[in-house]
Amino acid sequence: MIKFLDLYKINERHRKEIDTRIKQVLDSGWYLLGKEDENFEKNFAAYCGTKHCIGCANGLEALTLIIRAMGFNKGDEIIVPANTYIASILAISENGCTPVLVEPDIKTYNIDPDLIEEKITPKTKAIMVVHLYGQAVEMEKIWNLAEKYNLKVIEDSAQAHGAIYQGKRTGNLSDASGFSFYPGKNLGCLGDGGCVTTNDAELAQKIRAIRNYGSHIKYHNIYKGINSRLDEIQAAVLDVKLKELDNDNNHRRKIAKYYIDNIKNPEIILPETYDKDAHVWHIFAIRTKDRNRLQEYLKDNGIQTLIHYPIPPHKQECYKEWNNLSFPITEKIHNEILSLPISPVMTMEETATVCKVINKF
């Protein structure tokens, strides 16, 4: 069977080094906010090209921490793509702010910058972009709007570690960016993990406190904080895997290119990228009118696929107030999208097999 993602195989490549580093943490007797967290924060900030990185418990809380630290009030509006993973939107709701959904561009699946301005009101405080499926958002128009209306820009970079726009990596394209290190992400740990990157020293300081009960000094609480820390074992594992991130992303690019060059089936719409460095192919999403039948057919031929995502946020039960709204592009994407296997441990033989099987559909 060709698995969608073989996490065991991915981590097995680093077994020796991970074993050693976990043992070191165990032996150190210090398990939270210690040397490993500090070291990984330094290395990940350097990788992204930002001045600061703050480890936290997961990607959702990375975004939550950013919004909390920016100090928005109840009812403030934050613009977000309508087809994102639910976590981007939950982080806004969690802070009492109002998510304002904007349709994506059908070609890139990223937020359509030309549809943002009409959604800006006096209550709008920020634009949250999501580098969906691993492709960096083309930021130019977003930056211009932010300047014109005095808005903050937040990146959800949970799917795009290492993607590049105009020579800069994701995480370094906005006021602050949230990353997830969930095991299946391009850079993943052995459990939950996340971080915030930013060039804003004051914001970084505040997030550092908020992630730790709102205190810099133990038992001195200056903010009503939360507990959202990256533990030492996960930081150590991430530090090992960070060294391979560029190689891993390049392997994903090789698979994506092979798919694009070799899938020749008129029923299938292939993903597009405006620049090869812009995409790190967290997900290789194709579209077809006959999605469910294609997924069954691939399964019968030993190929595992997934759907990112089957239900759009505005149709979710938890956002009943939006259930009657219409986002035709978002809905079309959710009905037609299918994610093919792609990972740093997928072989080119497997990739060729997937192409052959799809071309016979």
Ligand X SMILES: *Cc1c(COP(=O)(O)O)cnc(C)c1O
Residues that bind ligand X (CB under 6 A): 58-60, 84-85, 87-88, 130, 156, 158-159, 180, 182, 192, 194
Comparing CA positions, the residue from 230, 146, 120, 248 lying closest to residue 155 is 146
Closer Cβ to ligand X, 278 or 355, answer by number: 278
Angle at 91 between CA 79 and CA 329, to 5 degrees: 45
Alpha helices in the chain (DSSP H): 7-12, 15-28, 35-48, 59-70, 86-94, 140-149, 201-210, 232-242, 245-262, 291-300, 328-336, 348-359
d(CA 272, CA 283): 12
User: In the bound complex, what is the minimum distance in angstroms from residue 111's beta carbon to ligand X?
Assistant: 12
User: In the bound complex, what is the minimum distance in angstroms from residue 155's beta carbon to ligand X?
Assistant: 10
User: In the bound complex, what is the minimum distance in angstroms from residue 169's beta carbon to ligand X?
Assistant: 16
Beta pairing class for 220-221 and 215-217: antiparallel
d(CA 99, CA 124): 10
Distance spanning both ends of the chain, measured CA to CA: 18
User: In the bound complex, what is the minimum distance in angstroms from residue 177's beta carbon to ligand X?
Assistant: 11
d(CA 190, CA 324): 39
Closer Cβ to ligand X, 85 or 281, answer by number: 85
Closer Cβ to ligand X, 89 or 294, answer by number: 89
Find out whether the peptide bond into 309 is cis, omega within 30 degrees of 0.
yes
User: In the bound complex, what is the minimum distance in angstroms from residue 101's beta carbon to ligand X?
Assistant: 14
Closer Cβ to ligand X, 159 or 351, answer by number: 159
Closer Cβ to ligand X, 229 or 358, answer by number: 229
Closer Cβ to ligand X, 180 or 288, answer by number: 180
| Residue type for position 224 | K
User: In the bound complex, what is the minimum distance in angstroms from residue 57's beta carbon to ligand X?
Assistant: 8
